[in-house]
């Protein structure tokens, strides 16, 4: 076992995997089309989504999500889907779109479930897709990361945005530039990704257990309250590469409890905390939110402990909804985290945001963390209390014994953000990180800008603080753990 991982008694891990990062939705979608279109009768597709838009074009000329899945089902490929039973689209969420995609999957011969089995105010935020090939397990593949099958995600390195735009703050423009990432996994870890899907699928709690109105809507839409049993599992795929993989997850403590996590699960939080405790040189983070004083404390402890450690964070310039009500709580949470890290590390902590060549800010939705070029994660979780305790999350932690994969992902991301060649020698050594980032702010071809969350007036903090803690970054731990630093 790698010392970077949690003990296997907490979360299983596997060796013998091949992990390939896909940076940008357009790259991931192109690979997804290739994998799904290769499926044949008897193969199986399993996926979860926070939001799914049936008409999202996965390439410029298609296919759409609907067309890709319908075509697979028509070849007698078994399709199973778990979609979050979301709140209404009127709140910029996903209920109508997820209902529509679920209905299409069911009508074409697959089975989609609208899953409301979350903590109150929470969501199913996991993004995974597994393809299993009957009799060809060496071709099995899983995808894990931050990219949903929905509007706004099909952007590329130019960051001009997806023509099918999502609702976002107007300062991101009519087609918001979108930065995101997934990983492709081959090898034994594919079975562990499928385990996460199967545990949720097999949960005996009714899908609509809380809400009589939604129960009625389930019946009217001919959606099942209980799933059909999953087919008999096939053997795990054979070894495919050198990478070690541990899947980390979050589930809240709730009632009725998850049978596979009676007190919830917080292996995401413990996995990150363990890696930060081992950090010596560099922690690099790309994160949609970067909130939470408690989560920031784990990084602050690392900065105080290691005088040579640097932390670099890349975040969006503006919240997704920066209006008078939703903006201040989000800004307050990020400001608190920023202050704690500046106090702990001074100039050894730096935060940046991105813009494209036209000066339009890029919405950073990626959830990537790389520590000392030895441990890396790509997943659905953000660095905040909600992702570490309250919603369902899934992240892929990877250790490459050679260190090549984390280093290659870091230098690929830095080359794009800093506007330098991928083989620039300054990118190879993490010790050069603070200097090269500082030098590239505002330089020709560079996309980075310093990011300092604004300090809010005292009168705004009076209401934004409670709103932040209650609605935006709630604590999903068991009662006995709240108010502590334990996960």
What confidence tens digit (pLDDT) does each residue in 283-303 have?
A: 999 999 999 999 999 999 999
- Do the domain assignments include residue 237? no
Confidence of residue 93 (pLDDT cuts 50, 70, 90): very low
pLDDT in tens, 144-184: 999 999 999 999 999 999 999 999 999 999 999 999 999 99
- Do the domain assignments include residue 340? yes
The residue-averaged pLDDT of 367-381 equals 97
- Do the domain assignments include residue 232? no
Asked if residue 58 and residue 135 are part of one domain, the reply reads yes
Could you tell me the CA-to-CA distances from 379 to 144, 223, 398 in Å, in that order? 6, 29, 11
pLDDT in tens, 230-268: 999 999 999 999 999 999 999 999 999 999 999 999 999
Asked if residue 251 and residue 141 are part of one domain, the reply reads no
The DSSP result for 302-344, as a single string, is HHHH-TT-EEEEE--SS-TT-STTTHHHHHHHHHHHHHHHHHH
Confidence of residue 99 (pLDDT cuts 50, 70, 90): confident
Q: Which residue has the higher pLDDT, 68 or 225?
A: 68
- Do the domain assignments include residue 285? yes
Apex 36 CA angle, 118 and 86, nearest 5: 20
b/e per residue, 96-120, with b = 16+ CB within 10 A?
ebbbbbbbbbbebebbbbbbbbbbe
Whether 414 and 427 have beta carbons less than 8 Å apart is answered as: yes
Asked if residue 201 and residue 277 are part of one domain, the reply reads no
Return the CA Rg of the chain. 21
Q: Which of 185, 157, 126 is nearest to 395 (CA)?
A: 126
3-class DSSP assignment, residue 76: coil
Average pLDDT of the chain to the nearest whole number: 94
Is a pLDDT exceeding 50 seen at residue 313?
A: yes
Asked if residue 278 and residue 155 are part of one domain, the reply reads no
Kindly tell me the sign of the dihedral angle through the C-alpha atoms of 251, 253, 258, 263.
Answer: positive
Asked if residue 332 and residue 423 are part of one domain, the reply reads yes
Name the domain boundary from 154, 188, 220. Answer: 220
Confidence of residue 209 (pLDDT cuts 50, 70, 90): low
The residue-averaged pLDDT of 17-23 equals 98
The residue-averaged pLDDT of 2-23 equals 96
The residue-averaged pLDDT of 304-315 equals 97
Asked if residue 254 and residue 178 are part of one domain, the reply reads no
Asked if residue 454 and residue 346 are part of one domain, the reply reads yes
Asked if residue 305 and residue 157 are part of one domain, the reply reads no
Asked if residue 308 and residue 199 are part of one domain, the reply reads no
Domain that holds residue 180: 13-220
Percent of the chain with pLDDT over 90: 89
* Domain CATH code at residue 260: 3.30.870.10
- Do the domain assignments include residue 200? yes
Give me the residues paired with residue 183 across strands. 21, 144
Is a pLDDT exceeding 60 seen at residue 327?
A: yes
Supply the pLDDT for residue 55: 96
Supply the pLDDT for residue 92: 45
Whether 377 and 369 have beta carbons less than 8 Å apart is answered as: yes
Supply the pLDDT for residue 2: 81
Asked if residue 310 and residue 186 are part of one domain, the reply reads no
pLDDT in tens, 102-142: 989 999 999 999 998 999 999 999 999 999 999 999 999 99
Supply the pLDDT for residue 403: 84
- Do the domain assignments include residue 190? yes
Supply the pLDDT for residue 240: 98
Low-confidence winner among 64-68, 96-100, 343-347 (lowest mean pLDDT):
96-100
The residue-averaged pLDDT of 344-364 equals 98
Name the domain boundary from 187, 220, 253. Answer: 220
Name the domain boundary from 188, 220, 252. Answer: 220
- Do the domain assignments include residue 126? yes
The number of distinct structural domains making up the chain is: 2
Give me the residues paired with residue 399 across strands. 244, 375
Confidence of residue 97 (pLDDT cuts 50, 70, 90): confident
Q: How many CA atoms lie within 13 A of 190 on its CB side?
A: 32
Confidence of residue 221 (pLDDT cuts 50, 70, 90): low
Is a pLDDT exceeding 70 seen at residue 477?
A: yes
Numbers of helices and strands, H then E, in the chain: 13, 18
Supply the pLDDT for residue 90: 47
Asked if residue 349 and residue 288 are part of one domain, the reply reads yes
Confidence of residue 98 (pLDDT cuts 50, 70, 90): confident
Is a pLDDT exceeding 50 seen at residue 89?
A: no
Asked if residue 117 and residue 25 are part of one domain, the reply reads yes
- Do the domain assignments include residue 120? yes
């Amino acid at each position: 076992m790698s010392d970077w991982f949690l003990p296997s008694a907490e979360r299983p891990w596997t060796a013998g995997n091949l992990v390939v990062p896909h940076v940008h939705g357009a790259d991931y979608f192109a690979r997804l089309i290739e994998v799904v279109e290769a499926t044949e009768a008897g193969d199986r597709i399993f996926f979860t989504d926070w939001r799914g838009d049936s008409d999202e074009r996965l390439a410029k000329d298609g296919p759409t999500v609907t067309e890709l899945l319908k075509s697979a089902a028509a070849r007698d490929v078994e399709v199973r889907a778990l979609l979050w039973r979301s709140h209404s689209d009127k709140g910029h969420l996903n209920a109508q779109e997820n209902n529509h995609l679920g209905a299409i999957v069911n009508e074409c011969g697959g089975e989609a479930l609208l899953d409301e089995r979350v903590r109150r105010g929470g969501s199913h935020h996991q993004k995974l897709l597994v393809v299993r090939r009957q009799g060809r397990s060496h071709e099995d593949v899983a995808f894990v990361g931050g990219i949903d099958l929905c509007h706004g995600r099909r952007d590329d390195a130019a960051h001009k945005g997806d023509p099918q735009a999502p609702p976002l703050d107007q300062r991101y423009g009519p087609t918001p530039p979108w930065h995101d990432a997934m990983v492709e996994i081959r090898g034994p870890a594919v079975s562990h990704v499928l385990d996460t899907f199967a545990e949720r699928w097999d949960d005996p709690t009714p899908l609509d257990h809380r809400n009589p109105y939604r129960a009625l809507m389930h019946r009217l839409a001919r959606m099942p309250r209980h799933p059909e049993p999953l087919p008999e599992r096939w053997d795990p795929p054979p070894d495919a590469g050198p990478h070690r993989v541990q899947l980390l997850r979050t589930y809240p403590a709730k009632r009725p409890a998850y049978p596979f996590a009676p007190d919830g699960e917080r292996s995401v939080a413990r996995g990150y905390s363990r890696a930060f405790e081992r950090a010596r040189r560099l922690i690099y983070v790309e994160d949609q939110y970067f909130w939470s004083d408690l989560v920031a404390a784990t990084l602050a402890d690392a900065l105080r402990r290691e005088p040579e450690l640097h932390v670099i964070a890349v975040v969006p310039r503006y919240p997704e909804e920066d209006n008078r009500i939703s903006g201040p709580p989000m800004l307050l949470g990020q400001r608190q985290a920023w202050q704690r890290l500046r106090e702990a590390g001074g100039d050894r902590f730096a935060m940046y945001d991105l813009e494209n060549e036209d000066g339009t800010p890029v919405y950073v939705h990626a959830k990537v963390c790389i520590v000392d070029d030895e441990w890396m994660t790509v997943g659905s979780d953000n660095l905040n209390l909600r992702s570490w305790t309250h919603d369902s999350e899934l992240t892929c932690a990877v250790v490459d014994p050679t260190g090549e994969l984390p280093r290659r992902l870091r230098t690929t991301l830095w080359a794009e953000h800093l506007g330098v060649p991928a083989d620039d020698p300054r990118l190879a050594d993490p010790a050069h990180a603070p200097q090269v980032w500082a030098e590239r702010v505002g330089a020709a071809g560079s996309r980075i800008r310093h990011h300092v969350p604004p300090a809010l007036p005292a009168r705004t903090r009076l209401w934004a603080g409670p709103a932040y803690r209650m609605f935006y970054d709630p604590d999903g731990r068991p009662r006995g753990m709240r108010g502590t630093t334990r996960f």
